[in-house]
């Protein structure tokens, strides 16, 4: 299910866009998506830096602290394929919007028909671009990470510790199921492998492989358990063969 994040410092505009999104969903019952909204662009900026991910961002341009253009630049700096739509009272930022590959530039006051056409297009593009994501439940809420942004996941003291490519570490609330179940979707992908009862790693970021350990891109050395070593070797060699074929 796609995730849509709206950010506008005007609560009135924020609520209006949320309302129009729900109108779209009512008229298109097969089009399922979740909506997250921010009135504080600085808070959204921090969340994006921490690894929070959305398929579609609908951003006001003229906001205090962080502009919509700054948010768009951060999204693109992290190599994300998220769809970006801009809303604004000014036509003066079209070039900047173009430079962050925005799919739409909507001038306020927003017309519902124009907004819904833009949402329909964005959802179609998001479906084509969508990268698998992993969701982790934390004390602050559910955070979403693109697979490509995850170095490895550790199970410690009945919690998940997710180590992101940007250097952040996020830990989950207490697990109510086995580690393997909690990371099942990662293990179903070709990119991740469980090397130890407590570690699942993204093979894309292994900088050195040994029979009893792997060194990750961030320099962390993680153990490979003896009983998993044969499977880890087969999967890693297969992954590297496919990668450089």
Q: Which of 31-35, 55-59, 83-87 has the lowest mean pLDDT?
A: 31-35
Q: Could you tell me the pTM of the whole model?
A: 0.57
Task: State the Cα–Cα distance between residues 34 and 3, nearest whole angstrom.
Answer: 5
Q: Where are the domains of the chain?
A: 3-129, 133-243
Comparing CA positions, the residue from 38, 77, 53, 60 lying closest to residue 133 is 53
Tell me, yes or no, if the two domains 3-129 and 133-243 fold the same way: no
Please compute the mean of the pLDDT values over residues 144-159 and round it to a whole number: 93
The answer to whether domain 133-243 has CATH 2.40.50.1020 is yes
Task: State the Cα–Cα distance between residues 28 and 236, nearest whole angstrom.
Answer: 43
The domain defined by 3-129 folds into: Rossmann fold (3.40.50)
Per-residue pLDDT tens over the stretch 121-143: 999 888 877 778 899 999 988 88
Bridge-based pairing of strands 34-38 and 56-60 is unpaired
More confident residue, 40 or 145: 40
Q: What is the pLDDT of residue 245?
A: 64
pLDDT category at 31 given cuts 50, 70, 90 is confident
Per-residue pLDDT tens over the stretch 186-198: 999 989 999 999 9
Cis preceding linkage at 109, omega within 30: yes
Task: State the Cα–Cα distance between residues 125 and 56, nearest whole angstrom.
Answer: 9
Per-residue pLDDT tens over the stretch 63-104: 998 999 999 999 998 877 899 999 999 889 899 998 999 999
Task: State the Cα–Cα distance between residues 27 and 48, nearest whole angstrom.
Answer: 31
Please compute the mean of the pLDDT values over residues 231-241 and round it to a whole number: 93
The count of other CB atoms within 10 Å of the CB of residue 227 is 9
pLDDT category at 106 given cuts 50, 70, 90 is very high
DSSP-assigned letter for residue 92: T
Q: Is the dihedral of CA 43, 151, 186, 130 positive or negative?
A: positive
| Residues 6 or more apart whose Cβ sits within 8 Å of residue 34 | 1, 2, 3, 4
Per-residue pLDDT tens over the stretch 166-225: 899 999 999 999 999 999 999 999 899 999 999 999 999 999 999 999 999 999 999 999
């Amino acid at each position: 299910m796609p995730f849509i994040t709206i950010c506008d410092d005007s609560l009135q505009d924020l609520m209006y866009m949320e309302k129009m999104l729900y109108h779209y969903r009512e008229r298109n019952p097969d089009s399922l998506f979740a909506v997250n909204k921010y009135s504080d662009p600085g808070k959204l900026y921090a969340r994006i830096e921490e690894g929070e991910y959305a398929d579609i961002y609908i951003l006001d341009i003229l906001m205090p602290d962080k502009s919509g253009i700054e948010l768009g630049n951060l999204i693109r700096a992290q190599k994300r394929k998220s769809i970006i739509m801009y809303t604004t009272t000014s036509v003066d930022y079209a070039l900047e919007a173009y430079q962050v590959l925005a799919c739409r530039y909507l001038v306020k006051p927003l017309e519902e028909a124009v907004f819904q056409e833009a949402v329909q297009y964005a959802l179609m593009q998001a479906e084509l671009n969508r990268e698998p994501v992993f969701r982790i439940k934390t004390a602050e809420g559910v955070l979403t990470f693109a697979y490509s942004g995850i170095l490895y996941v550790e199970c410690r003291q009945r919690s998940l510790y997710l180590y992101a490519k940007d250097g952040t570490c996020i830990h989950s609330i207490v697990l109510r199921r086995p580690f393997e179940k909690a990371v099942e979707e990662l293990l179903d992908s070709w990119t991740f492998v469980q090397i130890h009862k407590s570690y699942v790693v993204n093979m894309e970021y292994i900088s050195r492989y040994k029979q009893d350990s792997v060194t990750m891109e961030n320099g962390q050395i993680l153990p490979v358990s003896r009983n998993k070593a044969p499977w880890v070797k087969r999967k890693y060699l297969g992954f590297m063969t496919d990668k450089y074929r």
